[in-house]
Amino acid sequence: VWANCLRVIQATIGEQSFRTWFLPIVPVALQNNVLIIQVPSTYFYEFLEEHYVEELKRAIHQELGPEGRLEYSIVVDQGNSQNQPRTLNLPTTRKAAGPAPVATPAAALAAGPMSSSARNVAAAAAAPMAPATLRNPFEASKAVDRHYLHSQLNGSYTFENYIEGDCNRLSRSAGLAVANKPGTTSFNPLMIYGGVGLGKTHLVQAIGNHIKASNSDKFVLYVSAEKFTNQFIESLRANAVQDFANFYLLVDILILDDVQFLSGKDKTQEMFFHIFNHLHQAGKQIVMTSDRPPRDLVGLEDRLLSRFKWGLTADLQSPDFETRMAIIQNKMQQDGIDIPPQVVEYLAHSVNTNVRELEGVLISLVAQSSLNRREIDLEMAKQALRHIIEEVEAEVNIDFIQKTCAEYFSVPLDLLKAKTRKKEVVTARQVAMYFAKEHTTHSLKSIGHHFGGRDHSTVIHSVQTVSDLIDSDKAFRGQIVELRKKFAGK
């Protein structure tokens, strides 16, 4: 029957379109007057419904008579390594059920909502088929109030105020390309990585803002991986995982900030993997950031990491002197601040870690200047810098060390104080104890107490283990050096 339908359709549309949109369709089952066809993605379904309703209708009626109906089965998650293709059985009766915002249903083809028997046929015919874990995403339009669809973007992060330099050239231009043509470049997903305060969030927000300004019909969503995780956990608790998934399937451009946060959170990763596949297959744009290159994302599943390679990974480096100058000048202009050139130069010279810190110094300078009713001068700048360095040093207490080590090794902070013997956690815990001994005046007993009530011999053992490893393992030594910088101030 489907072959005959194809012949009818082929006669009426162009060869290219036919090849693109009809050859990939797999006929799945025919029961009474209902023909079930399988299409590769939701996007595919939408496109067919939007552009070829008439052709499909004519062909079906010619083959099956006026009672003939067509139903879609949509394959999502093709790349799922658990190799259970999931299907979404989309009734073509969206109009009867209430207007769907995205798809134009072929109401004429469908006499009523999909019967359960038809659904079973579809499931049986395309075996092995797991029960659909995601309901029709378009149904979410009923559950989700449109006013929730807020992009969560901060409009002040733009490309205009994102200063270009050698440190960010590739990332910036890739970002701009994605912003101009979301979902259609080969940069999908786009993964931006770089150290803290180097402009990841600014850049990906700029992408979102740019798209929002030029494609107002697109639903752009910015979300930190942390918020994503919390929302997911909350949905588990509230028994509303389906709503959670449905919401994310509505997104056209998904920006997930700080994916390293997903490390070790298997359930959340699985959900993200699912959403990722679905959106990617539907030609939606995905943008992510990470504080380290993907190969160093310990605790992220390989199947998820392998997805990142589908697109482009680009890094952000520390800005060089000229770029730092330009960033300060731009910031001054934006905020209407006036600072003598030699002070700007001094700041650009002295603060060479990251942009956030640079901005921090600037803000504190401005605050002091207005507090003391004094013009900003070199003396004041030096004073301010001293102040900031002291602050960094004062922050080196056990909490800070634990937090920094947990972050660095991508393990949840609370596990440092828990009983777990997982290797990554043990390493992070031992290193944190090592630095606590090195950088604070706490006794061994007190350090043990801060790590979930361990005794002083455990602390001694940890410090010893770390010292031994520093001697024997070059890569590990590198990590310690890197970490020590975070505690040493400047």
- Compute the least distance from the CB of residue 257 to Mg ion, in Å: 6
Q: Does 407 bind ligand ADP (CB under 6 A)?
A: no
Specify the DSSP class assigned to residue 410: T
User: Do the Cβ atoms of 153 and 205 come closer than 8 Å?
Assistant: yes
Rounded Cα gap, residues 83 and 328, in angstroms: 52
Cβ-based neighbours of 279, under 8 Å, separated by 6 or more: 248, 249, 251, 254, 286
From 28, 221, 355, 425, residue interacting with ligand ADP (rule: CB under 6 A): 355
Which member of 41, 73, 201, 260 binds ligand ADP (CB under 6 A)?
201
- By beta-carbon proximity to Mg ion, the closer residue of 53 and 192 is 192
Asked whether residue 197 is marked as a ligand-binding residue, the answer is yes
- The yes or no reply on residue 171 touching ligand ADP (CB under 6 A) is no
Partner whose footprint covers residue 356, from Mg ion, ligand ADP, none (CB < 5 to 8 Å by kind): ligand ADP
Q: Nearest approach, Cβ of 196 to ligand ADP (angstroms)?
A: 5
Q: Residue 69 binds which one of Mg ion, ligand ADP, none, with CB within 5 to 8 A depending on kind?
A: none
Note whether 201 binds Mg ion by CB under 5 A: yes
Please, is 287 exposed, middle or buried when counting C-beta atoms within 10 Å of its C-beta (0-12, 13-18, 19+)?
buried
Rg (CA), the chain: 28
Nearer Cβ to Mg ion, position 75 or 225? 225
* Adjacency order of strands within the sheet including 86-90: 26-31, 34-39, 69-76, 86-90
From CA 363, how far away is CA 59, in angstroms rounded? 68
The rounded distance, in Å, linking the Cα atoms of 203 and 201 is 5
- Of 137, 199, 208, 448, the one binding ligand ADP by CB under 6 A: 199
Paired tokens of 258: 């700080």
Residues 313-332 contacting ligand ADP, CB under 6 A? 327
Contact 450, 423 (CB under 8 A): no
Contacted by 138, from ligand ADP, Mg ion, none: CB < 5 to 8 Å by type? none
Q: Is 205 in the site for Mg ion (CB under 5 A)?
A: no
Q: Helix (H, G, I), strand (E, B), or coil: what is residue 260?
A: helix
**193 with 292: CB under 8 angstroms?**
yes
Which residue in 92, 93, 141, 168 binds ligand ADP (CB under 6 A)? 168
Helix (H) or strand (E) holding 194: strand 190-194
Part in contact with Mg ion (CB under 5 A); list of ranges 111-119, 199-207, 371-379, 402-410: 199-207
Residue 205 or 430 with smaller CB distance to ligand ADP? 205
Q: Is 79 annotated as a binding residue?
A: no
| Closer Cβ to ligand ADP, 164 or 390, answer by number | 164
Partner touching 162 among ligand ADP, Mg ion, none, CB below 5 to 8 Å by kind: ligand ADP
Residue 385 interacting entry, from ligand ADP, Mg ion, none, C-beta within 5 to 8 Å by type:
none
* Shortest reach from residue 212's CB to ligand ADP, in Å: 18
Size of the site for ligand ADP (CB under 6 A): 16
Cβ contacts of residue 343 below 8 Å, gap of 6+?
Answer: 365, 376, 377, 378, 380, 381
Which residue of this chain has its Cβ atom nearest to ligand ADP in the complex?
199
DSSP letter at 114 equals: P
Cβ pair 451, 432 in contact under 8 A: yes
Verify binding: residue 356, ligand ADP, rule CB under 6 A.
Answer: yes
The pairing of strands 190-194 and 26-31 is: unpaired
Please, are residues 288 and 191 in contact by the beta-carbon 8 Å criterion? yes
Rounded CA-CA distance 184/289 in Å is 19
Out of 111, 196, 298, 392, point to the residue binding ligand ADP (CB under 6 A): 196
Number of alpha carbons in the 13 Å side-chain half-sphere of residue 226: 5
Residues 112-141, interacting with ligand ADP (CB under 6 A): none
Q: What are residue 87's DSSP bridge partners?
A: 75
198 in contact with ligand ADP (CB under 6 A): yes
Binding of ligand ADP by 337 (CB under 6 A):
no
Part of the chain binding ligand ADP (CB under 6 A), chosen from 4-12, 74-82, 106-114, 192-200: 192-200
Closer residue to ligand ADP in complex, CB, 201/269: 201
Range in contact with ligand ADP (rule: CB under 6 A) among 33-41, 196-204, 378-386, 412-420 = 196-204
443-475 burial, b at 16+ Cβ within 10 Å, e below that, comes to ebeebbbbbeebeeebbeebbebbeebbeeeee
Q: Per the annotation, does 420 bind a ligand?
A: no
Tell me the two tokens of residue 387: 């102040």
Using the minimum distance from each CB to ligand ADP, give the nearer residue, 137 or 208.
Answer: 208
Return the range that interacts with Mg ion (CB under 5 A); candidates 115-123, 137-145, 200-208, 342-350: 200-208
Among 37, 56, 114, 163, binds ligand ADP (CB under 6 A): 163
Q: Please give the residue ranges that form the binding site for ligand ADP (CB under 6 A).
A: 161-163, 168, 194, 196-202, 327, 355-356, 359
Q: Would you list which residues are annotated within the binding site for ATP?
A: 197, 199-201
Q: Please give the residue ranges that form the binding site for Mg ion (CB under 5 A).
A: 200-201
